[in-house]
């Protein structure tokens, strides 16, 4: 227990130092994703800029307009967090740390170090307060899943990765027509020896739900931003499917930019105009932290 407490303190010191170093270098202002705060302990989120959209915001509307209304119109906090979200944050934070360490030392951390860092983050959070929806699973099985994902990633990618880091957890904002804006966070932006720039996104959910970048407008818009930021005509898009142990790749070119941005602007305008927010019952209701407030969800899934 003492060892875990010391490790947790070391992780927090690292996160604060990284955050401070980033603000000094101006590379990224995104706060490290930590799994500590539980939604139960969070106050209502501050109102979001009404005309600023992200992939999560658009996806929320697509999956359930009622949940979108709770989150983005009424600015309500979710009444519980899920273990999948907690696991995703712990894995993302560990990978952010791993590349920062690799760049600092000139050699990547080994899988044991990844595991130690992951466990310290996990212990510093409130995993026991997270909701476990799948019957056959427990907090412990998700923890084991995280360790396994990191171990395999270290062997498959990290150990031999020669790409240079441009930014980690890079937050960006893209101004669109009609006064709207799109914001995103790129897990890792990197460049290879030939000068090709890559947008890399880690997915920790079930492999069967992971879309490749040729099918993902999220990744393509991230690519469009990176192309402009880096002055590149082509961007390598990479989705790291952490559970499925595979890399899904696509090369995005600026030739498709106007079609992509115009379809994004159309969708944003539609969502921005919406005044009705029907409940869309689906298996996702099981994971929805707004269910206690949603009569349709409660009727189908219980509180």
* Interface residues toward ligand SF4, by CB under 6 A: 64, 66-67, 279-281, 284-285, 288, 290-291, 294, 296-297
Smallest distance, ligand SF4 to C-beta of residue 34, A:
25
Rounded Cα distance between 200 and 134, Å, is 29
Which residue's CB is nearer to ligand SF4, number 67 or number 264?
A: 67
Residues 6+ apart with CB under 8 A from 290: 66, 67, 70, 71, 76, 78, 79, 297
Smallest distance, ligand SF4 to C-beta of residue 283, A:
9
* CA gyration radius, the chain: 20
Q: Which residue has the tokens 């600023």?
A: 52
Query: What is the separation, in whole angstroms, between the first and last Cα of the chain?
Result: 35
Which residue's CB is nearer to ligand SF4, number 159 or number 296?
A: 296
Which residue's CB is nearer to ligand SF4, number 237 or number 288?
A: 288
Residues 6+ apart with CB under 8 A from 7: 116, 117, 119, 120, 123
Neighbours of 266 (CB within 10 A): 10
Q: Where are the beta strands (DSSP E) in the chain?
A: 52-54, 164-175, 181-191, 197-203, 234-241, 246-253
Which residue's CB is nearer to ligand SF4, number 43 or number 283?
A: 283
Smallest distance, ligand SF4 to C-beta of residue 37, A:
21
Which residue of the chain is nearest ligand SF4 when measured via CB?
Answer: 297
Tokens encoding 293: 């407030």
Which residue's CB is nearer to ligand SF4, number 33 or number 66?
A: 66
Smallest distance, ligand SF4 to C-beta of residue 272, A:
20
Smallest distance, ligand SF4 to C-beta of residue 287, A:
8
Query: Positive or negative CA dihedral for 92, 181, 37, 277?
Result: negative
Smallest distance, ligand SF4 to C-beta of residue 197, A:
37
Tokens encoding 141: 């099985």
Which residue's CB is nearer to ligand SF4, number 42 or number 298?
A: 298
Is residue 255 a contact partner of residue 226, using CB atoms and an 8 Å limit? no
Smallest distance, ligand SF4 to C-beta of residue 64, A:
3
Which residue's CB is nearer to ligand SF4, number 206 or number 263?
A: 206
């Amino acid at each position: 227990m003492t060892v875990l407490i010391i490790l947790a303190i070391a992780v927090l010191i690292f996160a604060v130092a990284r955050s401070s170093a980033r603000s000094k270098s101006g590379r990224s202002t995104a706060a490290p994703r930590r799994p500590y705060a539980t939604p139960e302990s969070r106050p209502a989120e501050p109102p979001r800029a009404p005309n600023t959209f992200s992939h999560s915001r658009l996806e929320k509307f697509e999956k359930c307009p009622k949940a979108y209304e709770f989150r983005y119109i009424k600015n309500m906090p979710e009444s519980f967090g899920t273990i999948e979200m907690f696991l995703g944050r712990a894995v993302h934070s560990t990978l952010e740390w791993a590349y920062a360490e690799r760049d600092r030392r000139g050699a990547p951390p080994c899988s044991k170090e990844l595991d130690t860092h992951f466990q310290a983050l996990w212990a510093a959070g409130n995993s026991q307060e997270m909701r476990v929806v799948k019957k056959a699973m427990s907090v412990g099985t998700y923890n084991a899943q995280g360790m396994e994902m990191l171990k395999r990633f270290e062997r498959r990618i990290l150990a031999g990765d020669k790409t240079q880091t441009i930014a980690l957890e890079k937050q960006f904002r893209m101004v669109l027509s009609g006064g709207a804006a799109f914001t995103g966070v790129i897990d890792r932006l990197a460049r290879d020896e030939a000068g090709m720039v890559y947008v890399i996104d880690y997915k920790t959910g079930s492999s069967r739900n992971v879309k490749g970048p040729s099918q993902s407008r999220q990744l393509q818009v991230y690519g469009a931003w990176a192309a402009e930021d880096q002055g590149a005509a082509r961007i390598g898009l990479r989705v790291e499917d952490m559970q499925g142990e595979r890399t899904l790749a696509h090369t995005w070119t600026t030739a498709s930019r106007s079609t992509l941005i115009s379809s994004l602007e159309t969708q944003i305008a539609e969502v921005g105009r919406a005044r009705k927010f029907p409940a869309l019952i689906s298996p996702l209701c099981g994971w929805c932290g707004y269910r206690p407030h949603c009569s349709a969800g409660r009727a189908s899934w219980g509180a």
